[in-house]
Structure 1
Amino acid sequence: MRVSACLLLCLVVVKCVDGQTVSSPLAGFLQTVVDAFPVICDVFFSVFGEVNETAFQTALSAALRLVDLAFPAKPLPRVPEPWWGDHAKRDTSVRRFTVHFSDEMITDLRHRIHNRRNLTHPLHNAGNTYGTHAGYLAHFLDYWANGYDFGAREDWLNSFPQSITNIQGLDIHFIHARAPNPHGKKVLPLLMLHGFPVTAFEFVYVIQDLMEERDDCDFVFEMIVPHLPGYGYSEVRKINFSSNIEEAEATYKIGMAPYQMGIIMKNLMLRLGKPQFYIHAGDVGQAVGDAIAVLFPERVLGLHTNFPFSTRPRTMAKLLLGQLYPPAVVEAQYEDRLYPLTARLKFYLENFGYFHMQASKPDNVGHGLDDSPVAHASWLIQNLIMATDVAGERLIDGNLSANYNMDDFYDSFTVHWACRSMTTAARSYAEALAVHQDPLSMSTGKGSYTVHWTCQSTTTAYVEALAFCFYLYCLQCYAIRLNNYFNRTPTPVPFAAINFRHELIYQPDDFLRDKYPNLVQSNTLDFGGHFAGYQEPEVLADSIRTAVAKMEQFHGN
Structure 2
Amino acid sequence: MTLEKLQYPSRSDDLVLTRSRTIGTALSSSPTRRGFFAGSVAALSIGLLVFASPGYAQTVTTSNTDAVVVAAAPATGQAAEDRSIRPFTVHVSRAALDDLRRRIAATRWPDKETVADQSQGAQLAKLQELVRYWGSGYDWHKAEAKLNALPQFMTNIDGLDIYFIHVRSRHKNALPVIITHGWPGSVLELIKVIGPLTDPTAHGGSAEDAFDVVIPSVPGYGFSSKPTGAGWDPDHIARAWAELMKRLGYTRYVAQGGDWGAPISSAMARQAPAGLLGIHLNLPATVPPEVAAALAGGGPAPAGLSEKEKAVFDALVTYAKKGNSAYFVMMTARPQTIGYGVTDSPAFLAAWMLVHPGFAQWTYGGDPEKSPTKDEVLDDITLYWLTNSATSAGRLYWENGGRGSVISAASQKTADISLPVAITVFPEDVYRPPETWARRAYRNLIYFHEVDRGGHFAAWEQPQLFAEEIRAAFRPLR
Q: TM-score range by the shorter chain?
A: 0.7 to 0.9
Please name the residue that 1:447 is paired with.
none
* Structure 1 residue 533: Cα displacement: 1.4
Q: Please say if 1:504 is aligned against 2:430.
A: yes
| Residue 418 of structure 1, aligned match among 380, 386, 397 | 386
* Structure 1 residue 122: Cα displacement: 1.9
Percent of paired sites with the same residue: 30
Preserved CA contact (<8 Å) 1:85 1:251: no
* Structure 1 residue 263: Cα displacement: 1.1
| Residue 324 of structure 1, aligned match among 276, 279, 303 | 303
CA distance in 1, matches of 2:195, 2:315: 40
Partner SS for 2:176: strand
Paired letter, 1:432: N
Matched pairs, number: 397
Partner SS for 2:424: strand
Partner SS for 2:355: helix
CA distance in 2, matches of 1:340, 1:202: 26
* Structure 1 residue 197: Cα displacement: 0.7
Q: Please say if 1:103 is aligned against 2:94.
A: yes
Paired letter, 2:228: Y
Please name the residue that 1:310 is paired with.
286
Q: Please say if 1:255 is aligned against 2:231.
A: yes
Partner SS for 2:249: coil
Preserved CA contact (<8 Å) 2:301 2:313: no
Please name the residue that 1:285 is paired with.
261
CA distance in 1, matches of 2:355, 2:112: 14
Preserved CA contact (<8 Å) 2:181 2:258: yes
Structure 1 residues 407 and 325, CA gap change in structure 2 (3 angstroms)? same
Q: Please say if 1:343 is aligned against 2:321.
A: no
* Structure 1 residue 178: Cα displacement: 1.2
Where in structure 2 are there 5+ consecutive unaligned residues?
1-72
Partner SS for 1:339: helix
Partner SS for 1:504: coil
* Structure 1 residue 361: Cα displacement: 0.4
Structure 1 residues 120 and 367, CA gap change in structure 2 (3 angstroms)? closer
* Structure 1 residue 401: Cα displacement: 7.6
Q: Please say if 1:162 is aligned against 2:191.
A: no
Preserved CA contact (<8 Å) 1:370 1:420: yes
* Structure 1 residue 351: Cα displacement: 1.1
Preserved CA contact (<8 Å) 2:280 2:423: yes
Preserved CA contact (<8 Å) 1:190 1:224: yes
Partner SS for 1:186: coil
Preserved CA contact (<8 Å) 1:279 1:289: yes
CA distance in 2, matches of 1:361, 1:318: 26
Partner SS for 2:416: coil
- Render the CA deviation track for 1:109-130: whole Å, top value 9, x for unaligned: 011111222x223235523221
CA distance in 2, matches of 1:131, 1:400: 23
Partner SS for 1:418: helix
Partner SS for 1:165: strand
Q: Please say if 1:213 is aligned against 2:189.
A: no
Q: Within 5 Å, give how 1:74-223 maps onto structure 2.
A: 86-89=75-78, 90-117=81-108, 119-123=109-113, 126-181=116-171, 185-214=172-201, 216-223=206-213
Partner SS for 1:520: strand
TM-score calculated relative to the size of structure 1: 0.66
TM-score calculated relative to the size of structure 2: 0.76
CA distance in 1, matches of 2:77, 2:187: 28
* Structure 1 residue 153: Cα displacement: 2.2
Structure 1 residues 485 and 142, CA gap change in structure 2 (3 angstroms)? closer
CA distance in 2, matches of 1:253, 1:402: 40
CA distance in 1, matches of 2:146, 2:138: 13
Please name the residue that 2:245 is paired with.
269
Q: Please say if 1:406 is aligned against 2:377.
A: no
